Amino acid sequence: MNSQSPKILRFVSLAASYLLDACAVRSSKAPADGRLGGMLPAVLALMIVLLPAAFAQKASLNRGATIQGTVSSSDGKPVSDAVIRLERKGSANPVETKSNAAGAFEFSALSVGSYQLIAEKSGFYSHSADVTASSESDLEKVDFVLQVSALTANSRSAPGPQTMQFADKPNFTVAGVTDWTAVGGHGSDSTLRTSESLANETATLKPQSSDPGAANALATRDEREAESRLSSSLASAPGSFDANHRLGELYLHAGKYGDAIPLLESAYRIDPENDQNRYDLALACEGTGDLSKAQRRIQELLAKRESANLHRLMGEVDEKLGDPLSAVHEYEQAVKLSPSEQNYFGWGSELLLHRAVWQAQEVFRKGVEAYPKSARMQTALGTALFAGARYDEAALHLCAASDLNPEDPSPYIFMGKVQIAAPNTLACVQPKLARFVQQQPGSSIANYLYAMSLLKHEEQSPDKQAVQQAQVLLTKAVTLDPKCSEAYLQLGILAASQRNFDQAIGFYSKAIEADPQLADAHYRLGVAYDRTGQTAKAKQELQLHDQIKRQQAQATERQRREIKQFLIVQQGEPASSVAK
């Protein structure tokens, strides 16, 4: 409202009062005042002119769209003190409010635009809601139903890992394997390929370490001292089991498998019944790729006694030998014997790798319930949920993983890839990626993923400032890593959108130089050449694009054939009902 509005409103109020007084005087039949009668027409005229403007300006005080709603539990009861986060699409600055005792909330005085909302409370979450305010008088309503989240469910009452028993039997059985199908895959082919890639990366996630840099430095120093001492002992007594075993074990733990095996084999010949040496020898053989020998040593040990570690190791060996059906049963047995974080993670990762998506979710949920502070378990559950097209819930777990260990880049990288591939923007991801850049400003991947998140928001709600910020981040990404081909590609796309095709050609060329197999860069370079009249070059790039796409499709098909898909029998379903 402008600065004259209060004065206009006061004048209209005084004029109205004056008219009322005048009417009162006339109604009392008091002697008419000539001056009073002369002023009335003038006052009335001014009021006729000013009243519409006054009311319009007063109404402008209350202009702005409003979003109202409620938050309730799954049984329909109102939920108070739930946090409702509202984010305007294209903006990185969400606002929050809380629900009242009746579960109600409101955001008012909102400008026209598209918004995304999500409701959360400790131990619960909702799916996000998209709302568009098309005018400043809009009143939109959103009702959220909170669902129990595995982020904290049962974490207070669950027994500790040492006393926990595997009481809940899985409601499924892996009955066989088949060639790859699209079952268990959702969304576009791009989304499916991202899901498959993340499934492979999930299996390589390491358990959290408080200070891996310091630990590695300490281990290296201690290892050198221990190696010198144990080598001297072995030189003095080359026929000693203890001398051979201890030095071999040192090399094993240092990852020097080739050095470890001759010493552990010598110890095995001296005392073939020593279980710890046989286990170490199996680990070393697996490390060098001698899987048959590793399998024999594990079988010898399992014939003597059951062990969760042995079953997990056998699962790893079976998977590498191309027998995933045996592997998944070994992982399951490991969890039954010892439901440790490592065993849950191994079982769930094996299921996810072979496209048993829903079953992997079940196992990872149990793992998260038992180990809610495990960042890699939260990351793995997020990956499995993404594979099942549960994008919002996947984002919540990936964001939770980043909060558990903010310095670990893995959860950020996973959520960034999920954000790129998901059909819609994911509420909690962008602030976390902003933190990733703040914590690791020298990381090319951090700058690239945050830029892509900004551009994802911009697709749904154009924001020139966000595009400029993304451009700065992408430029920094390629400065930090000249091999960051995807960032060059995005810079080219931005330049082309501004019809600066010469600049776009430069960026696309750099993307191809960094990664000659980046098919999209060849295609867009061909289009840019065509727009600038370079027909022959355009034709060449488009042909290269088609050739690379065919090769990549063939490679993907080969990989999918190699990774067999599990056939699942649900509880109560006869095994004969599973298609062979």
69: domain range? Answer: 65-148
Among 59, 74, 97, give the residue marking a domain's end: 59
The proportion of the chain whose per-residue pLDDT surpasses 90, expressed as a percent, equals: 54
Residues 13 and 76 occupy one common structural domain: no
Q: Which is more confidently placed, 487 or 20?
A: 487
Closest CA to 246 of 236, 256, 233, 255: 233
Cα-based angle 139, 141, 142 (whole degrees, multiple of 5): 150
Give the list of residues 6+ apart from residue 176 with CB closer than 8 angstroms, or none: 325, 566, 567, 578, 580
pTM: 0.70
Q: Quickly state the pLDDT bin for 221 (edges 50, 70, 90).
A: low
Give the list of residues 6+ apart from residue 370 with CB closer than 8 angstroms, or none: 158, 161, 164, 339, 341, 344
Does some domain include residue 404? no
| 76 contacts 68 by C-beta, under 8 angstroms | no
Residues 10 and 25 occupy one common structural domain: yes
Condensed to tens digits (0 to 9), the pLDDT of residues 162-205 reads: 333 444 578 788 888 888 765 545 445 778 889 999 999 999 99
Residue entry with tokens 């005229």: 45
Condensed to tens digits (0 to 9), the pLDDT of residues 89-147 reads: 655 466 888 999 898 999 888 888 788 788 877 656 676 677 887 777 778 888 888 86
Does some domain include residue 471? no
Residues 80 and 140 occupy one common structural domain: yes
Would you state the pLDDT for residue 532?
96
Sign of the torsion formed by the C-alpha atoms of 296, 301, 302 and 308: negative
Residues 33 and 94 occupy one common structural domain: no
Residue 157 confidence (pLDDT) above 80: no
Burial-class residue 93 by CB neighbours within 10 Å (0-12, 13-18, 19+). Answer: exposed
Closest CA to 335 of 327, 343, 345: 343
Residues 54 and 111 occupy one common structural domain: no
177 strand-pairing partners: 566
Residues 72 and 31 occupy one common structural domain: no
Question: How many structural domains comprise the chain?
Answer: 2
Give the list of residues 6+ apart from residue 93 with CB closer than 8 angstroms, or none: 87
In this structure, how many other beta carbons lie within 10 angstroms of the beta carbon of residue 327?
A: 25
- Judged by average pLDDT, the poorest of 4-18, 148-162, 522-536, 550-564 is 148-162
Condensed to tens digits (0 to 9), the pLDDT of residues 201-217 reads: 999 998 865 444 444 44
Q: Quickly state the pLDDT bin for 579 (edges 50, 70, 90).
A: very low
Does some domain include residue 297? no
Sign of the torsion formed by the C-alpha atoms of 358, 364, 369 and 373: negative
Residues 70 and 139 occupy one common structural domain: yes
**DSSP structure string for 444-494:** HHHHHHHHHHHHHHHHHS--HHHHHHHHHHHHHHHHH-TT-HHHHHHHHHH
Condensed to tens digits (0 to 9), the pLDDT of residues 408-437 reads: 999 999 999 999 999 888 989 999 999 999
Residue 250 confidence (pLDDT) above 60: yes
Does some domain include residue 295? no
Residue 61 confidence (pLDDT) above 50: no
Among 97, 115, 148, give the residue marking a domain's end: 148
Residue entry with tokens 């207070």: 156
Residues 84 and 109 occupy one common structural domain: yes
Residues 75 and 21 occupy one common structural domain: no
Residues 74 and 52 occupy one common structural domain: no
The proportion of the chain whose per-residue pLDDT surpasses 70, expressed as a percent, equals: 77
Residues 30 and 84 occupy one common structural domain: no
Does some domain include residue 391? no
Quote the DSSP letter at residue 97: E
Does some domain include residue 75? yes
Label each residue of 380-401 as H, E or C: HHHHHHHHCCCHHHHHHHHHHH
- Report the alpha-carbon distance of residue 423 to residue 533 in Å, rounded: 35
Token pair of 119, please? 């409701």
| 544 contacts 517 by C-beta, under 8 angstroms | no
Residues 54 and 70 occupy one common structural domain: no
- Report the alpha-carbon distance of residue 497 to residue 267 in Å, rounded: 68
Among 148, 170, 190, give the residue marking a domain's end: 148
- Report the alpha-carbon distance of residue 398 to residue 410 in Å, rounded: 9
The torsion angles phi and psi of 65, rounded to 5 degrees, stand at -70, 155
Does some domain include residue 83? yes
Residue 8 confidence (pLDDT) above 50: no
Q: Quickly state the pLDDT bin for 240 (edges 50, 70, 90).
A: very high
Does some domain include residue 362? no
Condensed to tens digits (0 to 9), the pLDDT of residues 37-51 reads: 455 555 455 555 445
- Report the alpha-carbon distance of residue 23 to residue 504 in Å, rounded: 76
| 97 contacts 68 by C-beta, under 8 angstroms | no
Would you state the pLDDT for residue 569?
87
